């Protein structure tokens, strides 16, 4: 018995000149089974693009005019090793906890949010900025920034809420971090409100 193969998955079937045997049935069944197993893996991965959501339960002090990286201490979602691609999680509480590290090459949608608590208004030129950076760099093109200036000249205090939305192309092992900076008339320092958040979600794989 000599088998022919289908063009895509190579399912074995007998020549038209063959006499059909039970081995033909066994081969075809086994090949279909393996093809379905491979297909199931693809299907499972398609619904498991991984991501993470990390936060800091406290509100760190931010020195005036100092770009400060936020170090996370908790996660509500951290799916990398259990995702369809890659074998490691995005975030580790013990190793470089400021980082969200790509478990595999991917395109990601990354966001961050932080609130600056002011005890004095920032003044006319004061601002609060939140950035997402790639691989520790703080220069273009590895930084994306959102700056807000409240133009405060009165006696108002309170908080400035700022968020940023970004998209990045990452190689396996590349990492993203969130940084904040403020400047203005007061000497500071000011604190962030407890609970700054960063999220990352795979959008596509190569």
Partner 1 sequence: MSATTPYESIRYPLESDFADVQDFYQLAIRVDQRIRDLDATFNAAVRPLAFLGHSSANSSGLGTGELTVNIDVVDWDPSGLLVGGDFAQPVYDVPSWWFIGLSVSFVTLSGTLTVGDHAEARIDTETTDPVSGLTSTGLLRRKTTETNSGGERLVVTGIVKLFQGLATPGIAYYGSTSGQKAAGAGAHFWAFRLGAAD
Q: Which of residues 3-62 bind partner 1 (CB under 8 A)?
A: 4, 6-9, 11-18, 20, 24, 28, 31-32, 35-36, 38-39, 42-43, 45-47, 49
At its nearest, how many Å lie between partner 1 and the CB of residue 57? 26
How far apart are alpha carbons 116 and 118 in whole angstroms? 6
Determine contact, residues 181/129, Cβ cutoff 8 Å. Answer: yes
Distances (CA, A) of 15 to 2, 3, 5, 9: 7, 6, 10, 17
Choosing from 68, 92, 157, 183, the residue that interacts with partner 1 (CB under 8 A) is 183
Burial of 44 (0-12, 13-18, 19+ CB in 10 A): exposed
Nearer to partner 1 (CB atom), residue 97 or residue 123: 123
Stretch near partner 1 under the rule CB under 8 A, chosen from 54-62, 72-80, 86-94, 167-175 = 167-175
55, 111 Cβ separation under 8 angstroms:
no
- In whole angstroms, what is the distance from residue 14 CA to residue 24 CA? 6
From the list 51-59, 90-98, 125-133, 192-200, the region that binds partner 1 by CB under 8 A is 125-133
Local structure of 118: helix, strand or coil: strand
- First and final C-alpha spacing in the chain: 41
* Interface mask toward partner 1 for 77-96; x: CB under 8 A: -------xx-----------
Nearer to partner 1, 73 or 136 (CB): 136
* Residues near partner 1 (CB under 8 A): 4, 6-9, 11-18, 20, 24, 28, 31-32, 35-36, 38-39, 42-43, 45-47, 49, 84-85, 107, 109, 124-127, 129, 131, 139-149, 151, 164-169, 183, 203-206
């Amino acid at each position: 018995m000599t088998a022919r193969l289908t063009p895509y998955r190579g399912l074995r079937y007998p020549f038209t000149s063959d006499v059909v045997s039970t081995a033909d049935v066994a081969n075809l069944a086994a090949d279909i089974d393996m093809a379905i197993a491979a297909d199931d893996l693809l299907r499972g991965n398609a619904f498991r693009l991984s991501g993470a959501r990390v936060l800091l339960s406290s509100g760190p002090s931010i020195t005036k005019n100092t770009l400060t990286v936020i170090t996370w201490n908790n996660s509500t979602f951290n799916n990398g090793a259990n995702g369809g691609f890659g074998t490691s999680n995005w975030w580790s509480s013990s190793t470089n906890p400021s980082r969200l590290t790509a478990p595999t090459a991917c395109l990601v949608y990354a966001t961050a949010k932080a609130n600056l608590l002011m005890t004095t208004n920032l003044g006319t030129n004061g601002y609060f900025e939140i950035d997402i950076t790639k691989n520790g760099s703080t220069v273009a093109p590895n930084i994306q920034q959102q700056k807000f200036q409240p133009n405060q000249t009165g006696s108002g205090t309170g908080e400035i809420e700022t968020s940023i939305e970004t998209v990045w192309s990452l190689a396996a092992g590349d990492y993203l971090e969130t940084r904040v900076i403020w400047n203005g008339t007061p000497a500071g320092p000011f604190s962030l409100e407890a609970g700054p958040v960063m999220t990352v979600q795979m959008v596509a794989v190569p």
